[in-house]
Chains A and B, each alone.
Chain A
Amino acid sequence: NAGVTQTPKFQVLKTGQSMTLQCAQDMNHEYMSWYRQDPGMGLRLIHYSVGAGITDQGEVPNGYNVSRSTTEDFPLRLLSAAPSQTSVYFCASSYQTGGDEQFFGPGTRLTVL
């Protein structure tokens, strides 16, 4: 199993550009989520999904969209990039919500100029 994969690993955007961060898992996990990690702020939840076709907002959803058309994929879209979105983004999945280990992807380091 590849586990949780993310692409790209690094990305530089200009303010106002849009892009999609890809996330996929091959463990048949129902729960998937996106976090951003900033120095001293820990892991902040952006959006999450409890199954295909179901998504919801986390703590910091503004400026981001998600969709979950399949169990395997959970892309994160930046609509109009801003310097405040410079961060490291992690996708995670787990077998079920709440009481299960979160498996994280390798992360995407995004810089917005």
Chain B
Amino acid sequence: GENVEQHPSTLSVQEGDSAVIKCTYSDSASNYFPWYKQELGKRPQLIIDIRSNVGEKKDQRIAVTLNKTAKHFSLHITETQPEDSAVYFCAASDSSGGSYIPTFGRGTSLIVHP
């Protein structure tokens, strides 16, 4: 089955800095890669996703990049703000009928210091 590794487990930055979280996956059939943000005591919520026919996707201060050859994808947050502090999860799945069950990484705790 699919295996998703996520690094780092904890990331501490100063407000205004950039933050990068990286994930690798094992199943070359995976073609959907979402990122979820979970604030303390809340449910995970989708913040951005990318499909395998796209190399990069941006939404204001967040972006995701995908390298299918190397089987890794990354979340980039620019101009970080204290409200970006949360746990971020990556996931991978195959929407074409293979390992369609999403597999999650273990999460990255992002701390943005004012």
Chain B residues near A43 (CB-CB < 8 A): 44, 89, 104, 107
Q: Is the CB of A40 within 8 A of B89?
A: no
Task: Choose, from A16-24, A76-84, A92-100, the stretch at the interface.
Answer: A92-100
Q: Are A98 and B45 in contact (CB under 8 A)?
A: no
Which of B34, B42, B104 has the most chain A CB within a 10 Å cutoff? B104
- Nearest-neighbour CB distance to chain A for B86, whole angstroms, equals 14
Interface size class of A (residues with CB under 8 A): 20 to 34
Q: Which residues in A have their C-beta under 8 angstroms from that of B46?
A: 101-102
A40 touches B106 (CB 8 A): yes
Asked whether B34 lies within 8 Å of A48 as measured between CB atoms, the reply is: no
Count residues on chain B whose CB falls below 8 Å from chain A CBs: 27
A3's nearest neighbour on chain B, judged by CB, is B43
Check A41 for interface membership: any CB of B closer than 8 A. Answer: yes
Q: Let me know if B22 is at the binding interface, CB within 8 A.
A: no
Q: For the complex, what is the distance from the CA of A35 to the CA of B95, rounded to whole Å?
A: 20
Q: Helix, strand, loop or mixed for chain A's interface?
A: loop
Q: Give, as a whole number of angstroms, the nearest-CB distance from A101 to chain B.
A: 5
- Verify if A75 is at the interface (C-beta below 8 Å from B): no
Task: Give the residue of A35, A40, A96, A99 whose beta carbon is less than 8 angstroms from that of B51.
Answer: A99
Question: A42 to B107, Cβ gap below 8 A?
Answer: yes
Q: Which of A7-37 contact B (CB under 8 A)?
A: 33, 35
User: Is A74 located at the chain interface by the 8 A CB criterion?
Assistant: no
Interface, chain A (partner B; CB < 8 A):
33, 35, 40-43, 45, 48, 58, 90, 96-102, 104-107
Q: List 21 A-B contacts (CB under 8 A).
A: A35-B104, A40-B9, A41-B106, A42-B107, A45-B101, A58-B101, A96-B95, A97-B93, A97-B95, A97-B100, A98-B93, A98-B94, A99-B31, A99-B94, A100-B32, A101-B34, A101-B46, A101-B49, A102-B36, A102-B46, A105-B43
